[in-house]
Amino acid sequence: MPGTTVRSKLRLAKAAVNTSEEIVANDGFSVPAQNDTRLNPLADLIDDTTFALLQQHKLIDQKSLRDYQIRKTYREMREEMSAGDAIDKLQQMHPYLQFDTIRKIVYQMSPKAS
């Protein structure tokens, strides 16, 4: 696979060996098996070309992008489960984040336009 880092190859090899189902966050940057293109996690807001250009010039804040995706996933989960269960599932998907951190991300209010 051209453009694949050693770390990515190791992660892919681990995933192929690991047969148990694992809950992993969809960070929007996963590579589909069919082709070697990146997915646009902001497809509902901007087109792929614009996203690629912003990413190329390092104009996308990865933490804010992660938080946006967590909030979006939370809203989708809330249609099927309770708030606590949704946050617990998000914590399984993002084990490096604490429960309270995810709660703050999910309930974060956007600043009002002045």
Assess contact for 65 and 28: CB atoms under 8 A. Answer: yes
> Is residue 47 a part of any domain in this protein?
yes
Determine the pLDDT at residue 108: 85
Please give the tally of structural domains in the chain: 1
> Is residue 6 a part of any domain in this protein?
no
Determine the pLDDT at residue 19: 46
> Is residue 68 a part of any domain in this protein?
yes
> Is residue 9 a part of any domain in this protein?
no
3-state secondary structure of 91: helix
Looking at residues 61-90, what average pLDDT do you find?
94
DSSP sequence for 18-56 = --S-------S-PPPSS------TTTTTS-HHHHHHHHH
**pLDDT for 4-48, tens place per residue?**
566 666 666 665 555 445 555 656 554 444 444 558 889 989 999
**pLDDT for 78-106, tens place per residue?**
999 999 999 999 999 999 999 999 999 99
> Is residue 113 a part of any domain in this protein?
no
Question: Please, what's the largest Cα pairwise distance for the chain?
Answer: 53
- Its domain, for residue 60, covers 21-106
Q: What is the pTM of this model?
A: 0.62
